Amino acid sequence: MNLLGVLEISGSALTAERQRAEVLASNLANAQTTQTAKGGPYQRQLVIFGTRKADSSTFASAFAGFSDRYAQGVEVKRVLPDPTPPVQRFEPAHPDADSQGYVAYPAVNPIEEMVNLMGAARSYELNVAAVQATKNMISQSFQILS
């Protein structure tokens, strides 16, 4: 029940949304990648979010005794490869073409990735607004003393 811990919650969301944006950017960047270290085309990655209990090891939460069971941050639980099979395109001249002349391209839809990227950016903004609000409340509480 304290404001320093609230910053922790919003901070966890900033980290998670940034990681999501990174993975989405990587999907976009590799939309045409046909060669990877594992072999075969790039596989689209999916980010799975989950709730996270407030971390009691950080300074702010330990300092303030933050053990509130209602405080739930967010974190990236897993990054999974999308099981959708690659898109086959007929390009016989391509060096990665198979015996029938088809090249396997990643199943990445740039429009879908862009929409998700916008969602991540908006959620990031939203949590920045929450951080600002909490910061204002903390600095106002200092005025009780003055």
Partner 1 sequence: MSWIDTPIIEKLGEYLDLAAFRQTLIASNLANVDTPGYRTRDINFEDEMQRAEGRASSDAAPPRAFEVAGLMERPDGNNVSLDRESMLLARTQLQFRLGVELLRQEFQSLSTAIKEGS
**Interface with partner 1 (CB under 8 A):** 1-3, 5-6, 9-10, 12-13, 16-17, 20, 48-51, 68, 70-74, 119-120, 123, 126-127, 129-130, 133-134, 136-137, 140-141, 143-144, 146
47 or 108: CB nearest partner 1: 47
Q: How many Å apart are CA 40 and CA 107, to the nearest integer?
A: 12
Which of 3, 104 has the CB closer to partner 1?
3
| CA-wise closest residue to 105 among 34, 39, 37 | 34
Secondary structure element (H or E) that encloses residue 83, with its range: none
Structure tokens belonging to residue 21: 């944006």
Question: By C-alpha distance, which of 53, 51, 113, 107 is closest to 82?
Answer: 107
Q: Which is nearer to partner 1, 9 or 103 (CB)?
A: 9
Which amino acid is present at 5?
G
Minimum CB distance to partner 1, residue 69 (Å)? 8
Q: How far is the CB of 70 from partner 1 (least distance, A)?
A: 5
